[in-house]
């Protein structure tokens, strides 16, 4: 069994290989370079608990266990480091943003080989990772653990367990659990019919306000379009790969159209869950989304 230790200060994230034990049971083998690379590969990407937030009541979650909608971005930095950004939303409003800068040091198999935020001291929170089926599990504890954990803003720190696989990342403090799912990025375009005098389908390309390069992810990603009309119209597109936690309905990739911030969709289209493309045509608006890399 191989172990990896993640060390994080109150606003830091670090990973250290567990030192060999002195006496007692044999110490676990140090984390190998391959293990570190695979863990970082699994962590990298965009994660959201949109599915959990959407179905929390139907799934029987207790009011005290509910957590706000959260989106977490893990991105590589120049020089081999990572940038971890956790954005927390409450009732649809962004409440706070945590940013963790991490750097990678150490050689393969060496105790102390690390992914660490510069300046993380001995009082930092310490998370020890180990291999699990299809991924890794970790447990966090330490005197340096403060309230800066990805639960409700202001919540007191508690022992935290984490598990990550190719598609899911769960965090639990014993009372609450955040169930992140990996989000797939999509590139979209949309065309909105200007005004209403041309009827419901327009007379030519000049009647349409076309937008390219709209980026969404499929775990509740949303983008707003503001037309060049007077007054401008505000239309939102939302993309969600819906996977119901109950019943027998099949997963569906769903594209929603909203007007002027109305939480109720004007209309929506769906495709097979996990699909790479989806489109919609309501005559007054057209839109299409394609997963990034689908055509490679």
Query: How confident is the model at residue 142, as a pLDDT?
Result: 56
Query: How confident is the model at residue 103, as a pLDDT?
Result: 53
If one compares 138 and 276, the residue with the highest pLDDT of the two is 276
Mean pLDDT throughout 74-89? 68
pLDDT at 181 exceeding the cut of 90: yes
161: Cα within 13 Å, side-chain hemisphere: 9
Residues 58 and 175 in one domain: yes
Residues 178 and 245 in one domain: no
Structural domain ending residue among the three candidates 160, 182, 204: 182
Q: Which among 181, 146, 177, 151 is positioned nearest to 164, based on CA atoms?
A: 181
Domain coverage including residue 215: 184-291
| Position 12 confidence tier, pLDDT thresholds 50, 70, 90 | very low
Residues 101 and 189 in one domain: no
Percent of the chain with pLDDT over 70: 58
Structural domain ending residue among the three candidates 162, 182, 202: 182
Mean pLDDT throughout 200-225? 84
Three-point CA angle 41, 140, 52, nearest 5°: 65
Q: Which among 126, 148, 146, 150 is positioned nearest to 138, based on CA atoms?
A: 126
Residues 124 and 31 in one domain: yes
If one compares 148 and 16, the residue with the highest pLDDT of the two is 148
Spatial contact of 2 and 28, defined as CB atoms under 8 Å apart: yes
Give the DSSP letter string of 52-82: HHHTTTTTT--GGG---EEEEEEEE-TTS-E
Query: How confident is the model at residue 279, as a pLDDT?
Result: 97
**Other beta carbons within 10 Å of 6:** 24
- SS3 assignment, position 294: coil
Structure pTM? Answer: 0.76
Query: How confident is the model at residue 2, as a pLDDT?
Result: 45
Residues 29 and 131 in one domain: yes
What phi and psi, each to the nearest 5 degrees, are found at residue 136? -140, 150
If one compares 116 and 254, the residue with the highest pLDDT of the two is 254
The count of domains in the chain is 2
Residues 64 and 166 in one domain: yes
CATH of the domain at 110: 2.40.128
If one compares 148 and 36, the residue with the highest pLDDT of the two is 36
Report yes or no on 296 lying in a domain: no
Task: Name 127's Cβ contacts closer than 8 Å, sequence gap at least 6.
Answer: 5, 6, 7, 8, 15, 138, 139, 140, 160, 162
The model's pLDDT over 229-283, given as tens digits with 9 standing for 90+, comes to 888 889 999 999 988 877 788 999 999 999 987 889 999 999 999 999 999 999 8
Dihedral angle sign, alpha carbons of residues 281, 267, 254, 179: positive
Residues 190 and 258 in one domain: yes
Give the DSSP letter string of 142-187: -TT--S-SSSSTTPPP--EEEEEESSEEEEE-SS-EEEEEEEPEEE
Ramachandran category for residue 145: left, alpha or beta (phi over 0 → left; psi -120 to 50 → alpha):
beta
Structural domain ending residue among the three candidates 149, 182, 215: 182
pLDDT at 107 exceeding the cut of 60: no
Residues 125 and 170 in one domain: yes
């Amino acid at each position: 069994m191989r172990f990896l230790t993640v060390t994080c200060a109150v606003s830091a994230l670090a990973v250290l290989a567990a030192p060999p034990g002195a006496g007692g049971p044999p110490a676990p083998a140090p984390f190998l370079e391959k293990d570190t690379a695979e863990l970082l590969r699994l962590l990298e990407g965009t994660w959201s608990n949109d599915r959990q937030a959407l179905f929390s009541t139907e799934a029987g979650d207790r009011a005290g266990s509910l957590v706000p909608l959260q989106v977490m971005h893990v991105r590589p930095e120049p020089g081999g480091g990572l940038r971890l950004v956790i954005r927390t939303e409450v009732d649809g409003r962004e409440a706070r943003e945590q940013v963790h800068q991490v750097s990678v040091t150490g050689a393969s198999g060496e105790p102390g080989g690390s992914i660490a935020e510069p300046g993380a001291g001995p009082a930092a929170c310490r998370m020890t990772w180990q291999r699990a089926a299809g991924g890794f599990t970790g447990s966090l504890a330490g005197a340096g653990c403060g309230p800066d954990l990805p639960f409700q803003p202001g919540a007191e720190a508690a022992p935290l367990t984490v598990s990550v696989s190719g598609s899911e990342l769960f965090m639990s403090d014993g009372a609450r659990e955040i169930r992140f799912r990996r989000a797939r990025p999509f590139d979209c375009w949309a065309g909105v019919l200007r005004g209403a005098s041309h009827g419901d389908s327009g007379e030519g390309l000049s009647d349409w306000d076309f937008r390219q390069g709209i980026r969404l992810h499929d775990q509740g990603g949303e983008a707003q379009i503001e037309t060049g009309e007077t007054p401008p119209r505000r239309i939102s597109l939302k993309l969600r790969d819906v996977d119901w936690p109950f019943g027998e309905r099949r997963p569906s990739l769903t594209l929603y159209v909203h007007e002027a911030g109305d939480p109720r969709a004007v209309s929506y289209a769906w495709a097979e869950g996990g699909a790479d493309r989806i489109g919609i045509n309501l005559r007054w608006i057209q839109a299409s989304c394609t997963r990034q890399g689908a055509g490679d």
